[in-house]
Amino acid sequence: MLSFRTDKHWRQWWATTLIAALFVILLPVVTVRATDISKDNFLANTYYNILISDADFTAIDSMSEAAIQQFLTNQNSYLAQYSENGRSAAKIIYDAAHGYGGASGTNNGVVINTSTGSVSPKVILVTLQKEQSLITLTAADRALNVDQYNNRLNKAMGYACPDGSSCNPNYAGFTKQVENASWQLRYNYEIAGKAKSWWDQYYSAISTSVCQRQYYVGNTCSVPDPTGSYSVTLTNKATASLYRYTPHVFNGNYNFWKLTNSWFSSTPATPPITVPTPNDTGSVSSKTYEGTFKLTGTKDSATTVVFNGKTVASSGTTRWTLQFTPDVGTKNYGVEYRNDAGQTVATKTITIERHVVGDINGDSKVDLLDLSLLGETFGQGVPDDDWRNLNP
């Protein structure tokens, strides 16, 4: 799955999906409230369709430099004492939010500079935690393994770091990461408001990419995760920006939403009642070792959803969820949308390639051939592939 993080430099990289460790901490410098940040609430209220409001996403003056510094200090973060080239981490974050340095630039007619600013300092802080857990990294933690934690600083925002490969060294370092990622997030935000004709001109659709790589407001697409796939409607520009940066529901954007509402938001962004609910017919293709596969989607309220001959959702509803155990091997499954007369009016194709644990050569068996392949590659580097994030 592509993560569009380097448009300014005409690159597209594979998304980095790093799970952030997070804690709900009351801080005097921000307004914090008790919010149900569970996965169940996230799914039940479809917060994956609207992760943060546009106003909060672009509120570049939401925190002063002093407030950022106090936030880092209250979190006991190593960043509270970190500096580069005479600027503290708080100063670097504040400047990036206001479009200085690498947080400014022009691409495809979109101008981002000190007049526009980039994104809220809160968005930058949450992304630092989501990508590399740098907000909760303490000085004591870093002292245990300096090289490891310096590496995390070098890829602080996950910018120009393709999944399963080395990060681009041109963007290594805390300052470069914060500035360029802030630019990218604001660029994503601006182009999310463009018409589809603009996207067809600059980012022509690719059927195998998430959202066909077109992240504009109103687009509804299947966003895959290792355990399933979710039908996501990009309700506002901020949400479209975040999915373009990290095209995952969990192990990515759920963590962003959870951290934002733990640390900052007085009220979560609310999905509008008018969110379009067409029959989700986007095809899904997934590879997994998991035994259970979960899928969600939208539907017209007048249709009934049927899977394997059983009703998954009746008329009168606009969403459906199914969970099943796919067969071992590569199999196609179909979701049917039926009208009141029982006629199929639309379908959704699901292709799942499931391997059993220990099946290295993909023949659906675990035998001596798998052991032989394991022996041949023992101690050698193995090229990364689509399975790298799907460990059993």
Q: Who wins on pLDDT, 17 or 122?
A: 122
For residues 149-169, give the mean pLDDT: 89
Structure tokens at 189: 């935000």
pLDDT > 90: percent of the chain:
50
Split at pLDDT 50, 70, 90, the class of 29 is very low
Which class for 355: exposed (0-12), middle (13-18), buried (19 or more C-beta within 10 A)?
Answer: buried
Residues with Cβ within 8 Å of 127's Cβ and at least 6 positions away in sequence, in order, are: 157, 158, 181, 185, 256
Report which listed range, 119-133, 227-241, 276-290, 331-345, is most confident: 119-133
* Closest-CA residue to 392 (of 226, 251, 249): 226
CATH number attached to the domain at 284-354: 2.60.40.10
Structure tokens at 312: 């998954």
Q: What is the pLDDT of residue 322?
A: 87
Domain ranges of the chain: 2-263, 284-354
Q: Who wins on pLDDT, 104 or 308?
A: 104
Q: What is the pLDDT of residue 13?
A: 40
Q: What are the C-alpha distances in Å from 48 to residues 227, 232, 328?
A: 16, 7, 30
Residue 377 confidence (pLDDT) above 60 = no
Under 8 Å between Cβ of 198 and 109: no
Q: What is the pLDDT of residue 266?
A: 53
For residues 144-161, give the mean pLDDT: 93
Structure tokens at 387: 């399975």
Split at pLDDT 50, 70, 90, the class of 273 is very low
* Closest-CA residue to 27 (of 125, 100, 127, 154): 125
Residue 207 confidence (pLDDT) above 90 = no
Residue 230 confidence (pLDDT) above 50 = yes
Helix%, strand%, coil% for the chain, nearest 5: 35, 20, 45
What is the pLDDT of the chain when averaged over all its residues?
A: 82
Instruction: State whether residue 283 is helix, strand or coil.
Output: coil
Worst-scoring range by mean pLDDT, 24-38, 136-150, 155-169, 288-302? 24-38
For residues 115-142, give the mean pLDDT: 96
Split at pLDDT 50, 70, 90, the class of 31 is very low
Q: Who wins on pLDDT, 155 or 369?
A: 155
For residues 344-368, give the mean pLDDT: 74
The residues pairing with 107 across neighbouring beta strands, listed in sequence order, are 110
Alpha-helical (H) ranges within the chain are: 39-44, 54-57, 65-74, 89-97, 121-132, 139-144, 146-154, 174-192, 196-202, 237-245, 254-263, 368-377
For residues 374-381, give the mean pLDDT: 51
Residue 186 confidence (pLDDT) above 90 = yes
Report which listed range, 176-180, 205-209, 313-317, is most confident: 176-180
Q: Who wins on pLDDT, 358 or 78?
A: 78
Q: Who wins on pLDDT, 244 or 227?
A: 244
Split at pLDDT 50, 70, 90, the class of 376 is low
pLDDT > 70: percent of the chain:
78
Q: What are the C-alpha distances in Å from 288 to residues 168, 275, 329, 375, 389?
A: 29, 31, 10, 23, 9
Q: What is the pLDDT of residue 275?
A: 44
Residue 93 confidence (pLDDT) above 90 = yes
Instruction: State whether residue 11 is helix, strand or coil.
Output: strand
Q: What is the pLDDT of residue 357?
A: 67
Integer Cα distance of 100 and 179 in angstroms = 8
Alpha-helical (H) ranges within 9-48 are: 39-44
* Token pair 């809160």 in the structure block, residue: 122
